[in-house]
Structure 1
């Protein structure tokens, strides 16, 4: 018998015992007054009465509790998966109450998580519809204008077709980023791990965006001269994408005549940490926990004006986590921001 079931027997035994002793005491007084006192008869009577009381009490208690607790289980849908259904209901009501409270709290947390996900889903759908709607309407507007007769003018035709082409490119950019982040989230994107020089990769990224930075007079620089290569083991193409997103963001939100600085430091024996630091706008503390969400923008009007899919930091986070590494962000509003991530070092 299980421990909880034995507690019902203990309850029934005590109750029957107390009842039997009381009745036996009264019976012995009665027989001593009206009949000849016989201890054997008294004990026999007490024993039979005890057995009868025990059987009735045990049956009634179990039946009473089972019916009512089963009704609780049937009424409370939050206890659908409880294992108590498979056991005999016991008189251990404290344990039963604790289990009900536990399941109620678990379900409450689950409901709250579902509500948060629902809000996130609504926000995500709103964001993606906005991101796709803007270039779609742009392309549609230029094409309709051309179809209505503006295409007869060569200069206007070329100008509008060029703008429509840029709108299509933006759509392709957004769709490619969506495809990328979906693959990262479901684990379908395979990493091509190799050994490469992270210093050289950062230099290549600087070269790619030198002209973009020059337009805002932002300097792309290392924190110091790296005379020796720093070899890491990772997916070179994906890490380049990480650096690209971080450097582009630092330029996008950087101040005129500002600086974007990259440093590479030894973290532990086989790890390095790459830091991308700028002295730009900075980020308010309430935005930092949501920075890596899809389509989340700190400055919605400004960031959309600057372009981008709104998926850059989400992709960055998933790429770094796919490498089993960590990404960090620190920022002081009005002072600047620092994004950093770890990589496995090979030399």
Structure 2
């Protein structure tokens, strides 16, 4: 409702009330009209002054403050002062919108705070485990005073293994940080994804045999599918995902890679027939250090950063990655890549270049 309309209605109500009272006592239409006119004009002036000074001006100030804070100084200057003809209604709308926005921001901050606490707890645990192991081996060697050389060599090998684990953890954390900040460039090249899958299979063949898992490519290697991506980083994605299927697969199982042609993308799927993942764990599967089964994950090794790195690499390509899984049946990790048409050789037409 407009400011002057509000004052008019209030002044009219007071004038009618006073006129009715005057007519009740004097029974004169002339006196009623005089009372109505005088009361209406005086009420309008008084209400206008009082509401303008004590209510409207303060609401207008609050509206300007909220409006300016929401827009920011640069945008506010570009649009002008941002005043409104009806700030009473506008301020209510602005406050409601602002309250919803702030509640959403608070919820996000709470989620980030929870994630930060979990991250610090996880990373401290990841560092403490190898550090304590190294410390224990060194103390055992010192206590033995190098008398048992076989034990010393064994403990030194175990300490070196934990040092390698720490180095790998630091390397992966640094890689994630650089991927997030864009410090690691994505070098796009055209290559056949079929050939890359073949190379990855060959490099993981011995590891697959060790886990008694069969690697299967459901397409033909000769049916070339060209993509535009960073070949070395997509190689890392494939190795991480296939290696992950070894860790959580079952002996005698299968890990299959499939390609699906989309409109302007290629969908790559890595499917295993392992134990699967609980549905409640799927939304957080790509978080750093997140483990679906902490005790089992510690036993089979890994830093808990592999899937987080995979996610950042795919997102750096401006593509998407997802997972679907059913307990007792298996899991499928899917990611997209930009598809391109194969480069055809220029035909050699006799006499054309002569």
State the TM-score, normalizing by the size of structure 1.
0.83
Q: Which runs of 5+ in 1 are unaligned?
A: none
Aligned to 1:235: 230
Structure 1 pair 68–160 and aligned structure 2 pair: CA distance change class (3 A): same
The aligned residue for residue 303 of structure 2 is 309
1:61 corresponding residue in structure 2: 51
Moved more, 309-318 or 135-144: 135-144
Matches within 5 A, 1:69-148: 81=69, 92=88, 96-148=91-143
Partner SS state of residue 177, structure 1: helix
Over residues 79-134 of structure 1, what are the superposed CA-to-partner deviations in whole Å (9 max), with x where a residue is unaligned? 99468x98699794x65444433333322222222111111111111111111111
1:48 shift after superposition: 5.4
Cα 1:158–1:56, aligned 2, differ >3 Å: closer, same or farther? same
- Whether the 8 Å CA contact 1:128–1:295 is kept in 2: the answer is yes
* Counterpart among 181, 192, 196 of residue 197 in structure 1: 192
Summarize deviations over 1:16-70 as a string: whole Å, max 9, x none: 244446656877999997xxx799xx66x86555433212111223444359869
Moved more, 15-24 or 276-285: 15-24
Q: 2: distance between equivalents of 1:38 and 1:58?
A: 25
Matches of 2:17 and 2:251 in 1, distance apart? Answer: 96
Structure 2 unmatched runs, 5+: 72-80, 343-354
Aligned partner of residue 279 in structure 2, secondary structure: coil
**Number of the residue aligned with 1:154:** 149
- Find the aligned partners of 2:330 and 2:60 in 1 and give their Cα distance: 61
The CA RMSD measured in Å over matched residues stands at 3.4
CA distance in 2, matches of 1:195, 1:220: 25
Residues 243-322 of structure 1 mapped to structure 2, 5 A cutoff: 243-268=238-263, 270-322=264-316
What is the match of residue 173 of structure 1? 168
Q: Secondary structure at the match of 1:156?
A: helix
Measure, in 1, the Cα distance between the counterparts of 2:13 and 2:158.
95
Does 1:11 pair with 2:14? no
Q: Distance in 2 between the 1:96 and 1:322 partners? A: 42
Residues 219/88 of structure 1: CA separation in 2 closer, same or farther (3 Å cut): closer
Summarize the Cα distance change of 1:11–1:256 in structure 2 as closer, same or farther, 3 Å threshold. same
Aligned to 1:51: 41
TM-aligned CA deviation for residue 230 of structure 1: 2.0
Q: Could you tell me the TM-score, scaled by structure 2's length?
A: 0.82
Q: Is this contact kept in 1: 2:67–2:94, CA < 8 A?
A: no
